[in-house]
Amino acid sequence: MENMAKYEYSKKISVYRSCGKINESISMALDAIEKYPEENIFEKILGDLYLQNHNYEAAGNAYLEFLKKIGDNLQYVRHFAQFIQRYSKLVPDLKRYMIQVEEYLDHEAVNEKVVMFVCEVVSQYVEEPAIHLFHDDRNFRRAVKYIREIEKSCRIYILYFKVLSIRHSWKNKRIDKYVVSSMEKKGRFKEALKLIVEVLKYDQDQVAVGTLFRVCRKLGDYTEAKRYIDAHPEIEEKEQFNILYELVFYYSKTNNERQRNISLERIEVCGRQSKPILRTLYNFYLQFGMLDKAVMVNTKITQMQPSQKYNEDRKQQEDDAAKAMLITIQELFAELEHSRKLISMSELLKGFSHELGQPITNIRYNVQLFQMKIERRMYTEKELNDLLENILSQTYRIKKLLTRFSPITSGKDHMADFHVVNEIKEVFQEFSSRLSKEHITWSIKADTEFYLSGDNVKFDQIFYNLIGNSIYAIKEKGGDGCILVRIWEKEKEFIITFEDNGIGIEPEYRGKVFEPFFTTKECSSDEDGGGEGLGLYIVWNIVRMFDGNIIVDKEYRNGARFIIKIKKGVG
């Protein structure tokens, strides 16, 4: 038995158990634990055997040892949960055993996540003597005192789950909000979200609403926040700083730049007399690269009457420091943009080298093979023709790749003013036969007419690629298709949206579509719009040439929508 492997132990224990030889199984499990003390699976088996043998105290101790060896493997908590469920039905009083479990959980070496999960399991079996305090705000001070007394022990997590299970109403809203803040401090954002959602059913003050958005932000999931906005659209009109602050993060996360900027403007209005709020606004503007706005806000801050007397030298020093920081940030933005371009070009060249390498390798291999046949005089005229056909095919592939690459490498720009709407219409007209063949309708809705200065041929390439992609996406989905282009203007930019009702872009690919050589297309024919993964990368680069930006609209669900923004005064 000395050389018996773990698997053999498990097998023998199982055989004894199936034959009803429980005592022999227990003896074998104890022997396995002695031989493999680092393993915890035999403690679990031993606990199950003791339970089957009605030795409940020994079963509990075995599972406690199993728990002590759990490490950071959260899957094992499920086994413990199943044991406790059975154990609670067989043992009339769990109090003493639960004390042992809590003593183990309070040991500083136990993984915090394990503590949390085990507390969730045992919370339904543990009494919480102070839970009555949390039903009524009249007990607020006592409830807070109790939380502070237990916040460094595992009992705090048990309390959280107990609080989640009680009734919530306006009678205990103050306590509920305090518990939410306690959960946040302990990093228990999922539990905090559950509780604040309950609070919002009867209390929708700015603290509760702001907390909902803050917790969603910390979780990285705005599902509940979006649900709340859908049910309460008036929140977008609120003027309270706490709510506006969180809305800025929400709209940034959901790529709603328009609403984000409206929230920033409202912060500026509500905080025009508050230095702390204006400093927050200043940091937001820096974060979003809105440097002109940042300068304006910083000027307001420096012009505000200080709360204490400053001498002129000190004020000048602050002004100089602020200006120097802005200059530094502007330089950093420029450096980041330059680095981004270099990284993008590096990725492009790596992919381009790989794409070119394949046809070149094919040509070299076939020529070398034919040279060997010539040396041995083993070739036929047909084989020679096949070789030449193969070389022509591979050189055509290289030419095709170079042609697709040329819009972002050509330095021969034809600079002229061109009418944007007419230019886009002409591209659609060139596609008219193919669009008609595929049963795809198109339309352009323009609220403004504007001109750009630059190479109209390169600008056309944006829509050649977008239309080609749409045709492919609509064919993949099947049925009649439609493409819609909308054009309007804002104070400092023109906006063009391009949308179709095709198969759309999978969420996991939306951040990658503008990368060079990224493609999900199986086909690589010209008719189907390429397939090398250069199309949208070319579009992205050309839009940048016109001092613009292009993104995928992540909120659009009926296909794909691209948003192009071009600054006014380009050229």
Higher pLDDT: 379 or 168? It is 168
Tell me what the mean pLDDT of segment 521-525 comes to: 50
Contact (Cβ atoms closer than 8 angstroms) between residue 215 and residue 228: no
Instruction: Classify domain 6-125 by CATH number.
Output: 1.25.40.10
Contact (Cβ atoms closer than 8 angstroms) between residue 244 and residue 263: yes
Name residue, tokens 């940034």.
252
What is the percent of the chain with per-residue pLDDT over 90, rounded to a whole number? Answer: 26
- Please determine, for residue 377, whether its predicted confidence score (pLDDT) is greater than 80: no
Higher pLDDT: 413 or 424? It is 424
pLDDT at 513: 82
Residue 528 confidence class, pLDDT cut points 50, 70, 90:
very low
Tell me what the mean pLDDT of segment 152-157 comes to: 90
CA-to-CA separations, 457 to 69, 325, 350, 538, 548, in angstroms, rounded = 68, 41, 27, 13, 17
Q: From start to end of 372-492, where are the E strands?
A: 416-419, 440-446, 451-454, 481-489
CA-to-CA separations, 474 to 362, 436, 503, 511, in angstroms, rounded = 34, 13, 6, 21
Residue 227 CA to residue 279 CA, distance in Å, equals: 31
Other CB atoms within 10 Å distance of the CB of residue 122: 22
Q: What is the pTM of this model?
A: 0.53
Contact (Cβ atoms closer than 8 angstroms) between residue 553 and residue 497: yes
Angle at 136 (CA atoms; ends 133, 141), nearest 5 degrees: 60
Q: Is 405 helix (H, G, I), strand (E, B) or coil?
A: helix
pLDDT at 527: 45
Topology of the domain comprising 416-567: Heat Shock Protein 90 (3.30.565)
Which helix (H) or strand (E) segment holds residue 500: the answer is strand 493-500
Q: From start to end of 300-408, where are the E strands?
A: none
SS3 assignment for 245-282: HHHHHHHHHCCCHHHHHHHHHHHHHHCCCCHHHHHHHH
Residues shown for the chain = 571
Residue 454's φ and ψ, nearest 5 degrees, are: 160, -160
Residue 175 CA to residue 182 CA, distance in Å, equals: 10
Tokens of residue 483, six digits: 């493409």
Name the β-bridge partners of 418.
452
Contact (Cβ atoms closer than 8 angstroms) between residue 290 and residue 303: no
Q: How many CA atoms does the CB half-sphere of 279 hold within 13 Å?
A: 6
pLDDT tens for each residue of 491-519: 888 999 999 999 998 877 777 788 766 66
Residue 181 confidence class, pLDDT cut points 50, 70, 90:
very high
